[in-house]
């Protein structure tokens, strides 16, 4: 069956440019999470969506980061004015509900030159 | 300040032997712990979990042990197989079930199982 998908798989951009990363969760999953993994680090929580509730943005590292989700479908993570320290693998996960197992996508590798 | 620590970045084990991956945590409010396995170019996949009311959970070749007083957990893989070669992440939550993005991950341990 279809799992969580993310696009693009790789993105190289120049410092200062904006990037948009996409996540397609598993159909029917009401919860969606964004994480990032910088080189040599563990996964770092960024933002969480649950149904139509206000998202938990407590992990976003700066106001250059934002994310949207329409209903219980696709989510986009936008990074404005990218910096070199934004280089990381950005992972999306979804789950049936707030206390269910999270299923991860393959990630988007972002390189900021 | 790291709340979940995996102090061994890598581990090499012979096929058929036991693999022991360790994880320490600092937050006594954590009540649920998970292990994820990650192959290159793929997202992490859930492996096994344990709640703080238990000290052991077993699933086939995988067993997780929790020592709350030491704030330490370990993942045992017996017998190890070459297909187990991957990066293993320890994660913790203070909200049972790892919900609401409250999963705190360690840096991971790369396990290599040699034939």
Query: Does A107 sit within 8 Å of B99, measured CB to CB?
Result: no
pLDDT digits 0-9 by tens, A72-100? 889 999 999 999 999 999 999 998 876 67
Q: Which of A40, A59, A91 sits opposite B43 (nearest CB)?
A: A91
Q: Which residues of A touch B104 (CB under 8 A)?
A: 42, 45
SS3 state of residue B83: helix
Lowest mean pLDDT among A39-43, A78-82, B42-46, B86-90: A39-43
Helix, strand, coil % over all residues of chain B, rounded to 5: 5, 50, 45
Residue A1 pLDDT exceeds 70: no
Residue A30 pLDDT exceeds 60: yes
Residue of A nearest to B48 (CA): A101
Q: Which residues of A touch B43 (CB under 8 A)?
A: 4, 91, 93, 103-107
pLDDT of residue B104: 86
pLDDT of residue A98: 64
Contact (CB, 8 A) for B52 and B66: yes
């Amino acid at each position: 069956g279809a799992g969580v998908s993310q696009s693009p798989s790789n993105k190289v951009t120049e410092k200062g440019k904006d990037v948009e990363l996409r996540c397609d969760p598993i159909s029917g999953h009401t919860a969606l999470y964004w994480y990032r993994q910088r080189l040599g680090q563990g996964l770092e929580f960024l933002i969480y969506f649950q149904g139509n509730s206000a998202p938990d943005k407590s992990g976003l590292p700066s106001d250059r980061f934002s994310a949207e989700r329409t209903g219980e479908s696709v989510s986009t993570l936008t990074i404005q004015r990218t910096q070199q320290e934004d280089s990381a693998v950005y992972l999306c996960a979804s789950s049936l509900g707030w206390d269910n197992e999270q299923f991860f996508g393959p990630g988007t590798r972002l390189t900021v030159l | 300040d790291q709340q979940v620590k995996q102090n061994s970045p890598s581990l090499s084990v012979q096929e058929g032997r036991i693999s022991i991956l360790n994880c320490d945590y600092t937050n006594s409010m954590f009540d649920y712990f998970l292990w994820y396995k990650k192959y290159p170019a793929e997202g992490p996949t859930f492996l096994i979990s344990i709640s703080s009311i238990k000290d052991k959970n077993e699933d086939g070749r995988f067993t997780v042990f929790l020592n709350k007083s030491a704030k330490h957990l370990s993942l045992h893989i017996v017998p190890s197989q070459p297909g187990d070669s991957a990066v293993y992440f320890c994660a913790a939550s203070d909200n049972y079930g790892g919900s609401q993005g409250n999963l705190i991950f360690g840096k991971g341990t790369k396990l290599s199982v040699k034939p």
